[in-house]
Structure 1
Amino acid sequence: MRSLNALKIANVVAYILTLFMNFLSQTASRLGLDIFQYTVAELGESRAIFFLPAGYVFAIWGVIYLGLAAFLVYQYRGQHGDEVVEKIGWWFVLSCVGNITWLYLFLNDQIAISTIAILLILVSLIAIYLRLGISRAVSRALKWAVHIPFSIYLGWVSVATVANIAAALYAAGNEMMLFGITADVWTVIMMAIAAVLGLLMLYLRGDIAYALV
């Protein structure tokens, strides 16, 4: 029980640190803090990253963090919360570590290395998804406070991982052509991969939340 309580506290601390890092990523320059070279929008423009989503699309992070806050509240819901925390283990904390690391690397133009960080987030969320058995029939509270938030989070990170890999490939090529394929064609390829992932999750798992992202 003591180790479970420690894990719950670690989840909350990791969440707060991740939220703070995201806040800094948007406000550091205005606060006069020299932490990041770019914002996400500035990096996309400076590197002509064609598959980088429009700035307003990143508002989905607000939905994701609200959902994760619901999970943190749910984890204190007696035995039901304990069961969820036990299944997730340290994977949520690991996803937060990956998130913080990715933000720092990506916004400091370390795009290739940042791919490792976003893959860490992806692997962590896949582990959570499978360990929770998301898409199976559960209570309404568990579905809305835990399953749907992690489905949305995994859906977004799946798309973001594809975008990050596309950005890393473009940066490695350092030209409009990469492997004989132009950047705009790479954009179409990456968009197709993201769409196929969504359709597969809808077909195989019946996960509407993931597919909609």
Structure 2
Amino acid sequence: METRSTDLARQITVTVSLVICIVGSMIGVGVFGGTPIAQAAGGALAADSTLLAPATPAFSIWSVVYAGLVAFTVWQWLPSQRANSRQRSLGWIVAVSMVLNAAWILSVQAGLLLVSVVIILALLVTLVLAFLRYSQSRAASWVEAIVVDGTLGLYLGWTSVAVCANIAAALKASGFSGLGLRPEIWSVAVLVVVAVVGIALAIKGHGRLALAAAIAWGLVWITVGRSTDAPESFPTAVAAAVAAALVLGAAITVRARGVMAGAGAGLGAGVSAHR
């Protein structure tokens, strides 16, 4: 495929965006002396802040996501990827997502929770757009499947859960009373929505496991958090566990059906060839 002048610009933009993202993440963990995210904004996003807050170990997934983004950035610099159609459709979107990631961290550090909700929703929309694009084609190799599909799947899956925790934290900080409904009703309702969305993404993405695994990861840690730490909530813990099982189960089922269908088609072609 012929190289365009915008290809180099895209590669450079992705790289600069990665640097911004990494610096933002370092600020988020307090490397430069700032307040860690869990303690920023009065602890609004701490593991014990709301019913939808995952336990602290859940956030270790960010290390995997960031490592994947580094790998994605290196991958897109390979000569074979400069004019690659997948990279052309994804590069700019991934760059935007990394800048939004850093902007989200800075907004939380500044205590601007409502602004952080707007930013993380924009991040979610950006990652869904990327998902819709890379789901239209298969990775050309197992390396690309891990570096591109796997990284972006984890990124979207975790962000899907983080959005819920972020909105819950912002509502609590703003004094939202729940319209007279018990907190557990709201948390269970949100988890039902997460399960439905996760299943829909599993179907749309042909059972992409990284995406489902990241959603399930976040949900399982909500279960752990609400079972072992304040505010404890048995209904929320159970709903999160069931949602995790449904999302992961849906992805595995869709994936298995796809593999079986492919094997069946191959067997049929082989039989026809020998007739």
Q: Taking structure 2 as the reference length, what is the TM-score of the superposition? A: 0.67
What is the CA-CA distance between 1:45 and the residue it aligns to? 4.7
Partner residue in 2 for 1:111: 113
- 2:26 corresponds, among 5, 20, 23, to 23
Amino acid at match of 1:105: S
Contact 1:25–1:39 (CA under 8 A) maintained in structure 2: no
- 1:157 corresponds, among 153, 156, 159, to 159
Amino acid at match of 1:19: I
Partner residue in 2 for 1:204: 204
Amino acid at match of 1:185: I
Contact 2:97–2:126 (CA under 8 A) maintained in structure 1: yes
- 1:125 corresponds, among 116, 124, 127, to 127
Cα distance change, pair 188–34 in 1 and its aligned pair in 2 (3 A) = closer
Amino acid at match of 2:21: T
Residue correspondences, number = 209
Amino acid at match of 1:63: V
Amino acid at match of 2:18: Y
Partner residue in 2 for 1:193: 193
Cα distance change, pair 163–34 in 1 and its aligned pair in 2 (3 A) = closer
1-structure distance, mates of 2:34, 2:139: 47
Partner residue in 1 for 2:237: none
The reply to whether residue 2 of structure 1 matches residue 31 of structure 2 is no
Structure 2 stretches lacking a partner, 5+ long? 215-275
Matches within 5 A, 1:147-186: 147-172=149-174, 174=175, 177-186=177-186
Secondary structure of the corresponding residue to residue 178 of structure 1 = coil
1-structure distance, mates of 2:150, 2:53: 24
Contact 1:135–1:207 (CA under 8 A) maintained in structure 2: no
TM-align CA RMSD: 2.7
Partner residue in 2 for 1:57: 58
Contact 1:36–1:108 (CA under 8 A) maintained in structure 2: no
Secondary structure of the corresponding residue to residue 64 of structure 1 = helix
Secondary structure of the corresponding residue to residue 186 of structure 2 = helix
Contact 2:28–2:34 (CA under 8 A) maintained in structure 1: no
Structure 1 stretches lacking a partner, 5+ long? none
Q: Percent identity?
A: 29
Q: Bigger shift: 53-62 or 161-170?
A: 161-170
What is the CA-CA distance between 1:37 and the residue it aligns to? 9.5
What is the CA-CA distance between 1:182 and the residue it aligns to? 2.7
Q: Taking structure 1 as the reference length, what is the TM-score of the superposition? A: 0.85
Partner residue in 2 for 1:14: 17
1-structure distance, mates of 2:107, 2:144: 34
Contact 2:104–2:116 (CA under 8 A) maintained in structure 1: yes
Cα distance change, pair 41–70 in 1 and its aligned pair in 2 (3 A) = farther
